[in-house]
Amino acid sequence: MENTLVLLKPDAVKRQLIGEIIARIEAKGYVIEDIDMLVPERDTLAAHYEEHEGKPFYEPLLEFMSSGPVVALKVSGHRVIEGFRSLAGTTDPTVAAPGTIRGDLGRDWGKKVVENLVHGSDSSLSAERELGIWFS
């Protein structure tokens, strides 16, 4: 059994898509093990996004992610890390495949940072690290 961290970003919460996105995760057969709704502290975001420090979208990203509540989910299932990333679709919602969360529900709003509704850990190492940040 594997666990992953899923974040429903502030754009998902503002657009009232929490239920829609969680329904897709559950309909796929994955299990919500833990859930928390919070406005993230800068320290939390800096730890979570440490690999992006110095990139042009880093500050806009932290500003966006602290602009309102996010929903953090610990999700479990066999191969859930890969499976959720497949459900989410590619980073850029404009070209994410229809049928995916980003492809069906996301678009480019012309902001400095790509607002793409969800985050999912990209490896078991990241999942362990990120779950430690959000569910310590």
Pick out the residues of the known binding site for ATP: 9, 57, 85, 91, 102, 116
Q: How far is the CB of 91 from ligand CMP (least distance, A)?
A: 5
The one segment of 11-19, 69-77, 110-118, 124-132 that binds ligand CMP by CB under 6 A: 110-118
Q: Note whether 45 and 103 are within 8 A (CB).
A: no
Which CB atom, from 10 or from 77, has the smaller least distance to ligand CMP?
A: 10
The amino acid that residue 36 corresponds to is D
How far is Cα 45 from Cα 107, in angstroms, rounded to an integer?
23
Residue type, 100: T
The count of residues interacting with ligand CMP (CB under 6 A) is: 8
Active site (annotated) includes residue 48: no
**Stretch 32-91 residues interacting with ligand CMP (CB under 6 A):** 52, 57, 61, 91
Nearest CA among 44, 25, 9 for reference residue 115: 9
Nearer to ligand CMP, 22 or 65 (CB): 65
DSSP for 31-76, please give it.
Answer: EEEEEEEE---HHHHHHHTGGGTTSTTHHHHHHHHTSS-EEEEEEE
Backbone φ/ψ region at 100: left (φ over 0), alpha (ψ -120 to 50), beta: beta
- Any contact of residue 113 with ligand CMP (CB under 6 A)? yes
In angstroms, give the least distance from the CB of 114 to ligand CMP: 4
By the criterion CB under 6 A, which residues form the site for ligand CMP? 52, 57, 61, 91, 113-114, 116, 119
The residues annotated with a catalytic role in the active site are: 119
